[in-house]
Amino acid sequence: SQTIHQWPATLVQPVGSPLSLECTVEGTSNPNLYWYRQAAGRGLQLLFYSVGIGQISSEVPQNLSASRPQDRQFILSSKKLLLSDSGFYLCAWSVLGRSTGNTIYFGEGSWLTVV
Amino acid sequence: AQSVAQPEDQVNVAEGNPLTVKCTYSVSGNPYLFWYVQYPNRGLQFLLKYITGDNLVKGSYGFEAEFNKSQTSFHLKKPSALVSDSALYFCAVLNSGNTPLVFGKGTRLSVIA
């Protein structure tokens, strides 16, 4: 069965410091990978998605970036964090298929607090 | 463009009563529709989906949803609510192809004992 791992679970970082959140998926190949951000326990904002190694689509311009160095690894980064980057970050994966319809499965999330 | 609307920010229901969480969608073709649940400080969990076929879809934890093409709706239902059903619920839609799901803003369900 497929599993998704996301870490760290909690992170407190000072303004201006770098960020690296990592996500890996097991039990599937060539998945679509996603980074979402959720503020204040409500709506989801799609930040990046990737349909293959080195292929990254950015949905929202900001000081975050994403990379996919391996098929099942997705990394969210920042060179200098802002206070507004605080939030709950969710990694997710999907595989497009006739029966799955691109169903997305989420990791457990990473809480980022920028101080 | 595809979109999904969850008209209620909050739904309150007494334990044991039926519950409904509303969702309407807008797509140009045949939709794929999804419901997810999120418990506090957790990732979203997949509940159910409609791809094609029977308009009534049954999912996890006793939830079901009915696809209504004429009303462009996909409301989530459960015959008898539990306190443990209290959570944030998201509806999502996909038009076609290898594109990300579009999520609604979420509805917070509170089941009162």
pLDDT at A98 (0 to 100): 66
User: What's the rounded mean pLDDT across residues A1-15?
Assistant: 94
**pLDDT, tens digit (0-9, with 9 covering 90-100), for B84-113:** 999 999 999 987 667 788 899 999 999 999
Distance from CA of B8 to the nearest CA of A (A): 12
Residue A99 has pLDDT above 70, yes or no: no
Nearest Cβ partner of A103 from B41, B49, B103?
B49
pLDDT at A100 over 80: no
Tell me the C-alpha to C-alpha distance, in Å, between residue B35 and each of A33, B44, B61: 19, 10, 12
B46/A41 CB distance under 8 A: no
For the cut 90, the answer to whether the pLDDT of residue B28 exceeds it is: no
> Please, are residues A57 and A47 in contact by the beta-carbon 8 Å criterion?
no
Contacts (Cβ under 8 Å, ≥6 apart) of A14: A81, A114, A115
Closest CB to B94 among A43, A44, A102: A102
- A103, B46: Cβ pair inside 8 Å? yes
Judging contacts by C-beta atoms under 8 Å, the chain B residues touching residue A98 are: 51
pLDDT of residue B96: 67
Q: Which chain B residues are closer than 8 Å to A88 by Cβ?
A: 41
Q: Do A32 and B49 touch (CB under 8 A)?
A: no
How far is the C-alpha of A47 from the C-alpha of B14, rounded, in Å? 37
What whole-number distance in Å separates Cα of residue B74 and Cα of residue B58? 12
Locate the chain B residue with the closest alpha carbon to A35: B100
SS3 content of chain B, % helix, strand, coil (to 5): 5, 50, 45
B22-41 average pLDDT score:
92
Which residue among B34, B41, B51 sits closest to A99, beta carbon to beta carbon? B51
Do B45 and B38 form a contact (C-beta atoms < 8 A)? yes
Distance from CA of A63 to the nearest CA of B (A): 22
CB contact under 8 A, A32 and B32: no
What is the Cα A17 distance to its own chain's centre?
A: 19
Q: How far is B64 from chain A (nearest CA, A)?
A: 17
